[in-house]
Amino acid sequence: MTARPATLITGCSSGVGQAAAWRFLRAGHPVYATARDVGTLSELDQAGAVTLALDVTDEDSMTAAVTRVEADHGAVGILVNNAAYGIQGAVEAVSVDDARRQFETNFFGLARLTQMVLPAMRARRSGRIVNVSSMGGHFSLPGAGFLHASKYAVEALSDALRLEVRGLGITVVIVEPGPIRTPFPTKINATIPPPDGGPYDRFHTAVEARVSAAYEPKRLSMALSADRVAQVIERAAIRSRPRARYPIGVMAHGLIALRRFLPDAAIDAITQTQFPGPTA
């Protein structure tokens, strides 16, 4: 058994999850990199990671992954709950079924996988759970209400869990990145409800344009690289006394600070200058 804790990471097919898997692998951790399509993990497999099919909305696949790590190492040493996706659209226009599916991945999948790893962590009196949230777990933007709601839920669960397991030798940390340069903007824009002649058509067009602009390559872009986020995940996972939260990037630090110190009316006014809502 290696001295470094076994690390189970969800959502490794691309972006932050993949970058995190590479970082932990290079640092000498036994890495269990997972994705719904294990075929996307071939390079990690060739580099020495154990690659597993894991869908956080599927109980059997989660059970199989946790069982494999525990069979090899006794317990998951570090769990990185990274798998997530976003949907966009005005609250009235988004299908509640679509919102439920997003919560199944972003929140309930995270919660259930965490429940699965905790018994062995408790028995060992050691473990680290890193929940990848977002700066959107502190405020909501028009057109992204359901996405941000799922991140608020991750923040709330993590805060409760941190206190519940601290005395059992387990540490819970939240990572809160700002915008990240990944395929995310293309994917989330594809979820915007199609035009229907209603009051949200122009608003949805504006939302799509704002999201695309926020992630465009530019000289002074505030969008983060996936590896920058992975670097902070690694730091949060291995520090002996980590902070409860790790905001990442200028935008995350700035907006979270504003949300903490300004009244709601001021936040609304600032938000509407950059993200105007629909009008009659």
With respect to residue 81, please indicate whether it lies within any of the assigned structural domains.
yes
Mean pLDDT, all residues of the chain? 94
Distance CA 252, CA 233 (A): 15
With respect to residue 234, please indicate whether it lies within any of the assigned structural domains.
yes
With respect to residue 280, please indicate whether it lies within any of the assigned structural domains.
no
> Pick from 128, 5, 3, 132: which is nearest to 69 by CA?
5
* Domain count along the chain: 1
Distance CA 280, CA 273 (A): 17
With respect to residue 74, please indicate whether it lies within any of the assigned structural domains.
yes
Q: How do residues 51-68 score in pLDDT, each as one tens digit?
A: 999 999 999 999 999 999
Q: What are the C-alpha distances in Å from 17 to residues 14, 107, 118, 237, 267?
A: 6, 16, 21, 14, 32
Q: How do residues 221-264 score in pLDDT, each as one tens digit?
A: 678 999 999 999 999 999 999 999 999 999 899 989 998 999 99
With respect to residue 89, please indicate whether it lies within any of the assigned structural domains.
yes
Mean pLDDT score, 210-219: 76
Distance CA 111, CA 116 (A): 9
CATH code where residue 172 lies? 3.40.50.720
What's the pLDDT at 220? 55
pTM of the model: 0.94
With respect to residue 1, please indicate whether it lies within any of the assigned structural domains.
no
Burial class (CB in 10 A: 0-12, 13-18, 19+), 140: middle
Mean pLDDT score, 46-55: 98
Query: How many helices, marked H, and strands, marked E, lie in the chain?
Result: 11, 7
Tell me which residue range forms the domain holding 153.
7-274
With respect to residue 162, please indicate whether it lies within any of the assigned structural domains.
yes
Q: How do residues 138-172 score in pLDDT, each as one tens digit?
A: 989 999 999 999 999 999 999 999 999 999 999 99
Specify whether the CB–CB gap between 192 and 89 falls below 8 A. Answer: yes
What's the pLDDT at 219? 56
DSSP characters over 38-86 = GGGGHHHHHHT-EEEE--TT-HHHHHHHHHHHHHHHSS-SEEEE-----
Is the sign of the CA dihedral 155, 252, 81, 151 positive or negative? positive
With respect to residue 236, please indicate whether it lies within any of the assigned structural domains.
yes
Mean pLDDT score, 195-211: 93
What's the pLDDT at 213? 82
